[in-house]
Structure 1
Amino acid sequence: MTRDPSDAQARRAVPPVICYPVETLPQPDMALYTAARADLRKTGEVLVPPREAATFEVPAGHFFRITSVDGPQVGDLNLWNRNDLSERFYSGKTRALHGTHITTGERMWSSFPTLRAMATLTHDTLGWYGIDEFGGSVHDVIGTRCDPYTHNLLKGGQYHHCCHSNLSRAVGDYMEMPPQDAETHVHDVLNVFMCTGFTRDTGQYFMKASPVRPGDYLEFFAEIDLLGALSACPGGDCSAEHSSDSAACYPLLVETFAPADGALDGWVPPPANGYDRSHGA
């Protein structure tokens, strides 16, 4: 049994310091993106079935939109550089730069050694939600994705429609390989529409019913050529549990759009990170 030190209150009262001040981050030209999205031409769509996943491609300089269509549903999103799958979404660094949840004007960053913007959020119809009284918010980069390994650890059994497995099957189909091989490409996600946070007393990750409704959407600008995979989570709106066959689940619509010719004049994809990779050697 430990005893509080005499200066415990003073130690707790030390003010926090932001780890990564973002004022010097390369900033998206939101005025340019807003002007470009005023005249978009739809180029394709994919309807992701409930408890399943699907892949899609987005060329650099185009937009993609994820929409709730039939009922409240959350999705798990993976992104890769379409031309080099070793460059993929880095949820941990995105969280460190922007916080636990992301919204309009913030970005999804890629893994080392490229560490650059992959996609910029250009519109979020749930931006009004903010942070609720429980500390919850939407579109988190703190949850890893529901997976059959943790399901087996906590509940036993073999459940195959966790988001990890959904994404593994979808990526496997895209790459023409078994899901057991494809799952090495699956990574921590952006939890689209999911409402989450950490409990104040125990610091545990929690979820609650998503505020998403049919017609709500999250829209992105592709900063580089992208391969995306989206799983319609088996938890539905995650109001009770995930990895479940009993939760009401609905499809998610992914649409891709091209801007009008000349709408992005002067824009260029972000270069790979400028670190020389010598690591002091």
Structure 2
Amino acid sequence: MSESTKPVYQPKAVPVPAYLPTKGSILDVNKEFYDNLATTESRQLIYSEIVPIRSGKAWKVKKGSLVRITTPEGAQVCDFNVWQADNFRERLWASRTRQLHGAHVGKYDMLWSNLPYLRPLLTITGDSIRDRLDFPQDPRNKVGVHDLLGTRCDPYVDTLLSGEDNDFHCHSNLYRAIIPFGGCESDVHDVLNIFQVTGLNEKGQYFMETCPAVKGDYFEFFAEVDLLCAISACPGGDLSAWDWGEGDEETKVDMVDCCRPLGIEVYEITDKSLLDGWKSPEIAQYKGNHGFQFPVFKRDE
């Protein structure tokens, strides 16, 4: 069949999401509960740190705490990994989170763990960029902030595309950050790109835009379980001079000029009544055997 005679596939005019929350399910979020946490003054700062440019940091968070990632000096992309605090095998499942919530996440969305655990690791409670900016959706150019479409920059693909061995990458930052907690390189996984604006063009190709964050922007979440978190202050900075390699030869702009630090803040909820009725989610309750048929042995009579 020639190209000119192929029938044209006609999608639905208004596609229906494949995964919709049913009333009373875990996806039917209690917005009042999370709004109360987001706005309460009954919180005590128990940990804070400034993460220098082009570096990474990992830290543990107790369930029931609030965590805020900030841009203390202005626009900067943050690559985020998260695991259950004592089990590197349970970690963010980016693709399932995309299906359940969206390619770009925001307030009330959750980050889900992989199989066989499948539970929300955290729930997003605050997003100052989306409070300040709208992201209109052009059907040819869908764009949003806090990205689950792409993943971290890494030295392997950089070498593939630039022909150079460069050490400044989010993958490497995250790897170094988790070593003190017993992590290894294979524990680094697909990230949530906090503060990063991305989309797919009319050909379905991934693109990145300059980070719109300003000094003092934040991304806040509630820890549903005990967590190990890790972030990388992306060596591409705000992505305004992004290129494979350590600089743009044409413009002579080094990406380091676009890099800024990130801030970490962890808060304990001091008014415990705000947590009344909340329970840390358990792992998925599937009790089948995946269709395997096991022999039944009977003793001789």
Counterpart among 84, 87, 108 of residue 87 in structure 2? 84
* Structure 1 counterpart of 2:218: 217
Q: CA RMSD in A?
A: 1.8
* Structure 1 counterpart of 2:242: 241
CA distance in 2, matches of 1:82, 1:6: 53
Tell me if structure 2 keeps the 8 A contact 1:59–1:226: yes
Please state how far the C-alpha of 1:50 moved relative to its aligned partner: 0.7
Confirm or deny that 1:3 pairs with 2:14: no
Please state how far the C-alpha of 1:36 moved relative to its aligned partner: 3.1
Q: Which runs of 5+ in 2 are unaligned?
A: 248-253, 293-301
Tell me if structure 2 keeps the 8 A contact 1:140–1:194: yes
CA distance in 2, matches of 1:242, 1:138: 20
- How high is the TM-score relative to the length of structure 1? 0.91
Please state how far the C-alpha of 1:14 moved relative to its aligned partner: 4.3
Q: Deviations over 1:113-138 (max 9, x none)?
A: 11110010001011133345542210
Please state how far the C-alpha of 1:277 moved relative to its aligned partner: 4.6
Please state how far the C-alpha of 1:276 moved relative to its aligned partner: 1.6
* Structure 2 counterpart of 1:172: 179
Please state how far the C-alpha of 1:6 moved relative to its aligned partner: 5.8
Counterpart among 55, 60, 65 of residue 62 in structure 1? 65
CA distance in 2, matches of 1:53, 1:44: 16
- Quick one: percent identity of the two aligned structures? 38
* Structure 1 counterpart of 2:279: 268
Confirm or deny that 1:136 pairs with 2:143: yes
CA distance in 1, matches of 2:243, 2:150: 12
Please state how far the C-alpha of 1:98 moved relative to its aligned partner: 1.1
Confirm or deny that 1:23 pairs with 2:18: no
How many residue pairs are counted as aligned between the two chains?
273
Query: What SS is found at the alignment partner of 1:4?
Result: helix
Please state how far the C-alpha of 1:222 moved relative to its aligned partner: 0.3
Q: Deviations over 1:91-115 (max 9, x none)?
A: 1100111111000010100111111
Please state how far the C-alpha of 1:166 moved relative to its aligned partner: 0.7
Q: Which residue identity lines up with residue 165 of structure 1 in the other structure?
A: S
- How high is the TM-score relative to the length of structure 2? 0.85
Q: Which residue identity lines up with residue 3 of structure 2 in the other structure?
A: R
CA distance in 2, matches of 1:14, 1:233: 39
Counterpart among 191, 194, 205 of residue 192 in structure 1? 194
Query: What SS is found at the alignment partner of 1:157?
Result: coil
CA distance in 2, matches of 1:277, 1:159: 47
Tell me if structure 1 keeps the 8 A contact 2:34–2:108: no
* Structure 1 counterpart of 2:290: 279
CA distance in 1, matches of 2:158, 2:76: 20
Answer with 1 or 2: which has the greater Rg.
2
Counterpart among 268, 275, 279 of residue 258 in structure 1? 268
CA distance in 2, matches of 1:14, 1:267: 39
Tell me if structure 2 keeps the 8 A contact 1:207–1:239: no
